[in-house]
Every structure is written in structure tokens, then in C-alpha cells.
Chains A and B, each alone.
Chain A
Amino acid sequence: MENWITLDLVPFGNKAQVRSIRAEGAMRRRLMDLGFTPGAETTPILSAAAGDPRAYSIRGTVIALRNATAKEITVFPAWEGT
């Protein structure tokens, strides 16, 4: 049942549900403080010209993360058709 992917690979406008955060330390805590906790819903909504960073909606706010950081967040796809 492990059909998870990393957040940086979620296509635009598609909902995903946070599964876990692989990073440790300060990055982990900051991401959790911002609301990226297991079960939270998030959607990528913006991308800078170079495709990096991308901005995600999370708990009513918009947070931009570099792809290297988004790679550390695993999510379950939750958009139509999954």
C-alpha cells in the first residue's frame, strides 16, 4: 500500500497528504512548526521561473520550499484519480 512520493514530484494544483518528514534536526522542526505534519493536506500552487523553489498551500497559508527540502517530505497522492 506504499504508494507514496516526495512532495517535489507532486504535479501542480494536485492535493497530497503528508506522510512523513525524512529530514532531521532544525529542518524537521521548522517544517512541522509550519504545519507539515502527518495527515496534513498540501498542494503545490506556484513555481519560480527555474522550477525551484515551489510554493505549497498548507493549513491555510502558502509556504515556499526548495525542491531539495520538498524531497524530504513524503506524501500520499490525494488528487482525483488516485
Chain B
Amino acid sequence: MERKSTSPAGRGSGQPLRERDGAVVALAGNPNVGKSTLFNALTGMRQHTGNWTGKTVSAAYGNCEYKGENYTVVDLPGTYSLSAHSPEEEAAREYILSGKTDVVVAVCDATSLERNLILVLQVKRLCPRVIVCLTLMDEARRKGIRINLPLLSDLLGVPAVGVIGRKKKTLIPLLEAIRECTGRRETAAYDPGKEIETEKDVIAQAALAHKIASAAAERTRADRSGAECGADRVLTGKQLGYPLMAVLLMFILWLTVKGANYPSRLLSTALFALGDRLSSVLLSLGISRWLHDALILGVYRMMAWVVSVMLPPMAIFFPLFTLLEDVGYLPRIAFNLDKPFERCRACGKQALTMAMGFGCNAAGVVGCRIIDSPRERLLAIMTNSFVPCNGRFPILISMLTLFFVSGSPLVTAAMLTGLIVLGVGASLLATRLLSGTLLKGEPSFYTLELPPYRPPQIGQILVRSMLDRTLFVLGRAAAVAAPAGLVIWGMANIRLDNGTLLQSLSSFLEPAGRFLEMDGVILLSFILGWPANETVIPIMLMIYLSQNSLSNAFSPQQIREILVMNGWTGATGWSVLLFTMMHWPCSTTVLTTYRETKSVKWTAVSVLLPTLFGIAVCASLHFVSFLASG
């Protein structure tokens, strides 16, 4: 069995699906039954999956070859029904009715067959060629559920197979069924029930699903194992629910910070050394001095900095997060935190998009697709930048270690966690503000499925996630850091009357900076750090030292000396800390926000909201500091 893969169209880009030659096989099913795992196994394509309901909100396609036949496999969005009451349902229904599908594989979770069968019955109404595919058969066996596949097939009148989605060897029965189904030429005309199901229909389908499931699925034990019930009671319980989440957050932050420290320094040293080599090569080629400087000192150094700072933490944070997702813990977080978000007229899923935002604000914005209600989705997107992403951690950590805490990584992690909780609080405040003004509305009705805990596919996650993130960081370095590096280098080397352009700009911004208990240099560095927050501190140091290119050669003590020499006080440190938490989102996030909202207005709001908060807080700090100094 060979698998060919193509890159997915329509990952939210709105492009139409393009089918290749061969029969078209559509995968339909409830959210979170393992449909995407099955899709990956059939097509060998990397597509993000997770044990989280509603994650795959856009369809994807791939190619599969079996016994010489070519098949196009389409992964339809996971839906609870096909009655076109939501964009996902509409998309799935339309695709099945479009005539492009040759066979629909209705994917069911073997551990919860009954509810899954409702969708199967709806699929049958729309398409004559259906194969029922039960996945997670090993989980079912573990839970003492015995499925009688031949009986199921009889009762439904269509082929029924059982597989283990993530184990390719078990897919043969499915492939055989597909081959057999598409091989037949359907002679009888089929009139699909084009009218959308009425309520009576759904009730009848539910009753029939109950009858069939009772007959074909035998439960020898209770629904949920004692261990699962116990785990859930602890994880969502009054005493331990919140503390456990805080501890988990701290643990992940600590791992990310500690784990990334050494690799970042290594990468930085290696890449800058590579830069020196490149430099001598270019010079020996006789390239002109200014071009060499622009390329090496400007473009290359910026890229090297961005990659060495961002790659290690992302390579740790995202796999950890995806692991939590795969295990099934994330919906429990959304469950625990729903109430505070509901008080702000948002919903618990926003907690998850915020958590994604810790890794990368742009990823958090994309993640807001899991929120169904458009109003609540906007709320989540607008407030996502209130939580600091991996790119801002270096600033926060340097400020903490330089001015407030002495070096112990555990204490740093604790303070970082505290700052993040502050950020979450600010996010909730901003959410409440927005929902009382620009995004008024009642809390949408909210349902959340808590899927059973599943063993995570650790190996696959590590590989897939690290690859994904590495590509993202490298792509961002090329697309964003390179031009920014060039521009900033230019500004550092263009000489005007009283210094370089950078120096003139910082003097110009001095009054504004002072107003925010910072100075012109810091403010300018934040502005120039718009492409990538991790460059704020190096740019700042470069200006302070009147250098004309980035350097990576500073120890913490050296940095502290430079800052103090330039008039920094404790209050300055606080202000930088707070402004880092609340200022305009980075360029990647702004672009992503525009892509997701397709609205200039809302993109502008997403930029202004945290900025205004930051200005208000820092100006207040300045005022307080001014009063305190008499």
C-alpha cells in the first residue's frame, strides 16, 4: 500500500478542493472520533490532529493507493449532524451531495457507538455508497466493549469494518471495502433525501441508533473506568482543579525556559560564528563593504538572533502542548475555566486559545477557530495578545533576573507564572470591556464534549510538532526578520547631523518614553521590535552602545551595567515588564488576525486594545513614581 500526499488546500484559505484521478472517498464523522488520525494513516500526510473536539474545522484532502488503484481521500469537517445548521455541517453536507464523492466512510468511535450512529443514519440518507468504519477498536476492547460487526452491517445495510486508526496495518479491511464499493457500478438511480432532517427525523434516528447500538455493541463493564472517573473528579474538582492547572502551567513554563536556555546560547554562538565565516567568504569575493555589512551585519545577524531565541522554546512548548491535547486534558481546562469566561460574556474555549497564545500569539489567533460563536471568536482573537508568547519570554526573564530575582530558574518560573496570571487577568478585563462595548451580546449557548482520555502518540507528536515549529520559525526568520534586519541596520548606519537615524529617533521619542517611565531608546526598540519581539533587547543594547549592528556577546552582568549606566531604575524595569505584557501584537500576529477576521476594523482593534492598556498602566506607574520621588 503506497501513500502519496499533497499539500492541503483549504486550510481555512477558502480554496476549493481539487480532486485527482481515481475514486473520491470522503471521511465523515463526529468531531474527535479519530477521523484525522485515520486520514493521516491513509494518506501519509501531516495534518494537525488532537484529542480536542472541533479542531479540524476545515476539510483537507490527500491521496491513497491500494492494489494499483488511486483514491482521493477527503477529510470532511467533524460534525454532530449533517443538517446544515453551522458552517461545518453545511460544508460536509454540500460536499456529500455534490456528486463528487464516490463513497463516504462514516467514521465512528467504537467506544461510543450509539451517538455516532445518528450521523451514520444521516449520511445514509444522502449517499448510497457508505462504509461504516469503527476506529479505536483497541480502546473499545480495553473497556470491555464487544462489537458484532456482521450484525451491525446487517442492521445498517452497509459494510461495517473495524480498525485502529493509528495502526496502518489494521486498515486493510477498510481499504478492501473501499475497493469493493467503488469497483461496483451502481445501476439503480438513487434519490438522496435532499430535505434537511426535521426534528421528528432526528428523534427517530436517535431511537434507531439506540436500538442498533444496543444490539451490536455489548458492554461488559461500566461506561467509564474507575480510573477515568477518578481522574476527572480530581482534575475538575473544587480542591485540586485550579491548583493543578496552575502547577501544570508552571511546570511547562519551567521546562520551556530551562530547556531552551542552553540550546539558545549554543545556537546563537554557532550561528554568529557561521556569520563570521560567511563574512570572510563574501569579503574575499571582493563584494563592496556596504553590501557586505547590509547582508551580514543587518540581514543575517537579525535572522540568526531570531532563530536562536525562538527555535528552542518553541521546540519544547508546542510538543508539550500537543501532548496535553492528545491525551485529552485540554477540554478539561475549558471545562474548569468556563465560569470566569462566561462572566465576561465569553466562553471556556477562550482559555485554550490563550494557552496556545503562550507559545505563539499568531497560533493562538488561528486556534480561535474552535470557538463556534462569531462574537466570542472575535473576543478571543482581540484579547489573545494579552498573554505573552515565547518571543516575549526573553524580555520578561531578563527583566526579572536583572532587576528582581537572583538566578534560580524555579523562582523565575514562579514569577513568570505570576506575570502570566496577571496577563490572563488583563485579558479577562479586556474581554469584559469589549463585550460591554464593541462586542455586546449574550453568552452563546455552550456545549463541550469531554472525550475519553487516550494514550498519546508521543513519537508522532514530537516529530510532527517539532518539524512544524522549526519550519515556522525558519519561515518567519526569512520573511520577517530578514527585511527588518536590513531596515534596522540601515537606520543604525545612516548618519544625520547629530548621530545616526536611530539615535535621532530615540531622542525624538524621549518625551513619550519618559511619560511611560521608560526612555526614547526603549520605546523605539519596542517599535522596531514589531516584526519580532525577541529583538527588542538586542536593538536596545545596540542603540545604547552606539553600535551599528546586533551583537550577542553580553553576559547578564554586562547587560545590567549597560542599563544602569543609561539611567535605568527599578521603576524602569517594572515599566518594561508591564509594557512587554501589554503592547501592540507582533507583525505575524497582526497579519494572521487580518487573515482570520478579514476586517481592517477588527485588526485595528486588536492592535489598539493592548497598546492602550499598556500606555494606561505605564503612565500610571510614571505618575506614581513621580509622586513617590516627591
Contact = CB atoms under 8 A, between A and B. Distances in A.
A33 B543 CA distance: 61
B232 interface: yes
A8 to B, nearest CB: 13
Interface in B443-459: 443, 445-452
A17 B229 CA distance: 22
Interface in A20-60: 23, 26-35, 37-40, 45-50, 52-53, 55, 57-60
A37 B206 contact: yes
B80 interface: yes
A48 B335 contact: yes
A48 B338 contact: yes
Mostly, the B contact residues are helix
Interface string A55-71: 10111111111101100
Given A52-B339, A55-B335, A32 B202 contact: yes
A47 B238 CA distance: 9
Contact of A35 (B114, B224, B229, B338): B114
Nearest to B82: A33
Given A29-B83, A60-B111, A61-B112, 18 more contacts: A29-B202, A30-B445, A32-B202, A33-B202, A34-B80, A38-B203, A39-B207, A40-B206, A48-B335, A49-B242, A52-B342, A53-B338, A53-B348, A57-B223, A61-B449, A62-B449, A66-B342, A66-B445
B236 interface: yes
B289 interface: no
B236 A33 contact: no
A28 B114 CA distance: 20
Closest 5 CB pairs of A and B: A60-B112, A33-B80, A33-B81, A59-B115, A64-B448
A37 B202 CA distance: 8
Nearest to A23: B445
Contacts of B348: 53
Given A46-B232, A59-B210, A37 B114 contact: no
B629 to A, nearest CB: 44
A49 B445 contact: no
A17 B51 CA distance: 29
A48 B236 contact: yes
15 contacts: A30-B80, A30-B85, A46-B232, A46-B335, A49-B339, A53-B335, A53-B348, A55-B335, A61-B112, A61-B449, A62-B449, A63-B447, A64-B335, A64-B448, A66-B445
A69 B445 contact: yes
B436 to A, nearest CB: 19
A63 B450 contact: yes
B237 interface: yes
Interface of B: 80-81, 83, 85, 111-115, 118, 199, 202-203, 206-207, 209-210, 213, 223-224, 229, 232-233, 236-238, 241-242, 331, 335-336, 338-339, 342, 348, 443, 445-452
A19 to B, nearest CB: 13
Contacts of A37: 202-203, 206-207
A28 to B, nearest CB: 8
Centre residue among B209, B233, B236, B443 by max chain A CB count within 10 A: B236
Contacts of B339: 48-50, 52-53
A61 to B, nearest CB: 5
A55 B232 CA distance: 10
Contact of B113 (A29, A34, A40, A60): A60
A45 B452 CA distance: 14
Given A59-B114, A60-B115, A32 B448 contact: no
A29 B448 contact: no
A78 to B, nearest CB: 15
A63 B306 CA distance: 43
Contacts of A63: 447-450
Nearest to A58: B115
Contacts of B111: 60
Contacts of A28: 199
A34 B114 contact: no
B450 A62 contact: yes
Contact of A60 (B83, B114, B206): B114
A31 B202 CA distance: 11
Nearest to A36: B206
A73 to B, nearest CB: 12
A30 B447 contact: yes
Nearest to A21: B199
Contacts of A57: 223-224
Contacts of A27: 445
Given A46-B233, A53-B448, A32 B223 contact: no
A65 to B, nearest CB: 6
Given A29-B85, A30-B80, A46-B233, A61 B241 contact: no
